[in-house]
Amino acid sequence: MYNFNYHRAGSVDEAVALMAKASDGRFLAGGHSLLPTMKQRLAQPTDLIDIGRIAALNGVKTESNAVVVGAATPHAEVNASAKAIPALMALAAKIGDPHVRHRGTIGGSIANSDPAADYPAALVGLGATVKTNKRTIAADDFFKGLFETALSDGEMVVSVSFPKPEAAAYMKFPQPASRFALVGVFVARTSGGVRVAVTGAGPSVFRVKAMEDALKAKFTPDAIKGITVPAKGLNSDIHGSAEYRAHLVNVMARRAVAAAA
């Protein structure tokens, strides 16, 4: 690991100001994505701005129509406190192991945009909104590709607002060692229709419109039994081929619908 300057910010404004002064800065909360990358010398930031103790970035709030999660809130806290959306609680409980769940944060996870992360499926599946220090971004517009988001230089995630669904569930086929999603599917029935979001299968989270249309007409597992996603363009590695992942999308989607219904 290379040398770097460490700063502990006391507020969002201070964190943003420190980042503006750094030649190559990174925000640090739980560190479960950033620190391993630095240890492998794949990243060498000049400055780390610790935002983990900023009160405004921590906690889960339940509002009339949404659950709002601060960016520095650990996965374990989401699992314990997002009671208005049981599917979100269940998703957080499936992330990594207890050590990861008590240190890793939702803001760090979505800003990293790992193709196998769980939270992107929840954001897109529920039609969430990401609030930053500059603007608000719809989840459908936030994830751009492999480790790529809509965040600009120096922009920081402040919170994520999840609308309450009528029914929802998340099912994933985990990679046994890492617990990352080989394929994970989040299905939500909302007042605006049905959303089906897939993580782990492709370079980034994506929706399956054919399943959404079928489930809008009939919200049962059998309604999507014959719907498949093309294997072309999906991830393929030692853990599973693109064809296997395409198969799992349908399996996990039907299980999610069954759980939600």
Encode pLDDT of 44-89 as tens digits. 999 999 999 999 999 999 999 999 999 999 999 999 999 999 999 9
Residue 177's pLDDT is what? 87
If you average pLDDT over residues 196-220, what whole number do you get? 98
Residues 6 or more apart whose Cβ sits within 8 Å of residue 239: 175, 182
Domain end call among 53, 76, 92:
53
157 is written with which tokens? 């995630």
31 within a domain of the structure (yes/no) = yes
Task: Looking at 127-195, list the stretches that DSSP marks H as alpha helix, in order from N- to C-terminal side.
Answer: 139-142
- The number of residues making up the chain comes to 261
Based on the structure, what is the number of domains in the chain?
Answer: 2
Residues 6 or more apart whose Cβ sits within 8 Å of residue 116: 175, 178, 180, 181, 182, 199, 200
Give burial (CB, 10 Å; 0-12/13-18/19+) of 40: exposed
Averaged confidence pLDDT in the chain: 96
176 within a domain of the structure (yes/no) = yes
71 within a domain of the structure (yes/no) = no
Whether the pLDDT of residue 1 is over 80: the answer is no
Residue 33's pLDDT is what? 85
User: Which pTM does this prediction carry?
Assistant: 0.96
60 within a domain of the structure (yes/no) = no
26 within a domain of the structure (yes/no) = yes
Supply the range of the domain harboring residue 13: 1-53
Domain holding 192: CATH number? 3.30.390.50
